[in-house]
Amino acid sequence: MEPRYTDLQDKTLLVTGASSGIGLRIAAALASGGARVVAQYKTQADPVLRLQEEHGALIHPHEADLSEEDGCVGTVRSAAEATGALHGMVHSAGIWNDGPIRELSRDTLETVFRVNTFSSYYLSREAARVMTAGSLVFIGSTAGQRGEPGHSHYAGSKGAVQSLVYSLAQELAPDIRVNLVSPGWVRTPMAEDALKARERDIVAAIPLRRVAEAEDVSAAALFLLSDVSRHLTGQDICCSGGALLPLPRG
């Protein structure tokens, strides 16, 4: 269970990708703690509507395609208009697919960057225009830190988000904090097929010997949203069970 931060109660927070996996877990945890959540989704309305049934007026569903600039602009405006202010954002929406470099198509490359990277820029721009203070949290990936064979397009898209966070943390200070959570393997629908095929090998490479659950990532995101982390900005919390630790030598 994620901790509850009382300072987030009654705040308006935007969560993208709120219909599945990490984003769904974050939206649910925030609403359970009394925050007003603008829950963005692209096509899967049902999980968000179920959240709304459970939490009532605390959940504001918003359908948008974040691969388009207009979708990002409309999402932030909807969040700000829901209650007259926007106090924070978690950008969790993203895609992951195969892309061996010898077979990488222009469409695959551009789609991954539009969804994962360009959306981060557009959402940041719009949030910075309407927020006077608060916290922006981005969901990165260990792939953006160390690369990932067969998925260089995905790794590059997340590496760019990491650089964006480092830049905006300086640009938007002192009023808006900007941080990153970089998960390794997480048990989500997006990773389901890969985990079925090779979970044993994946777990063997993780010092904590387990794949993360969505609540592990959500707990880190809520911490960064809260004023409990008020002196943290430009940080990357690597939520990977120690997967990026250097191997012992000798």
For 65, how many CA atoms within 13 A lie in the half-sphere containing its CB?
Answer: 5
Residue 185: its pLDDT value, please? 81
Q: In the predicted model, what is the mean pLDDT of residues 52-64?
A: 97
Residue 139: its pLDDT value, please? 97
133-174: per-residue pLDDT in tens? 999 999 999 999 999 999 999 999 999 999 999 999 999 999
Q: Which two tokens stand for residue 157?
A: 């898209």
Q: Per-residue pLDDT for 249 more than 80?
A: no
Tell me the C-alpha distance between 166 and 209, whole Å: 30
Assigned fold of 6-229: Rossmann fold (3.40.50)
Cβ proximity of 227 and 179 under 8 Å: no
Q: Which two tokens stand for residue 14?
A: 């935007």
pTM for the predicted model, two decimal places = 0.94
DSSP 129-148: HH-SSEEEEEE--THHHH--
Catalytic residue list: 154
Q: pLDDT over 70 for what percent of the chain?
A: 99
Q: In the predicted model, what is the mean pLDDT of residues 227-248?
A: 92
69-125: per-residue pLDDT in tens? 999 999 999 999 988 899 999 999 999 898 999 999 999 999 999 999 999 999 999
- Terminal Cα distance for the chain, rounded: 39
Tell me the C-alpha distance between 76 and 38, whole Å: 9
Cβ proximity of 115 and 93 under 8 Å: yes
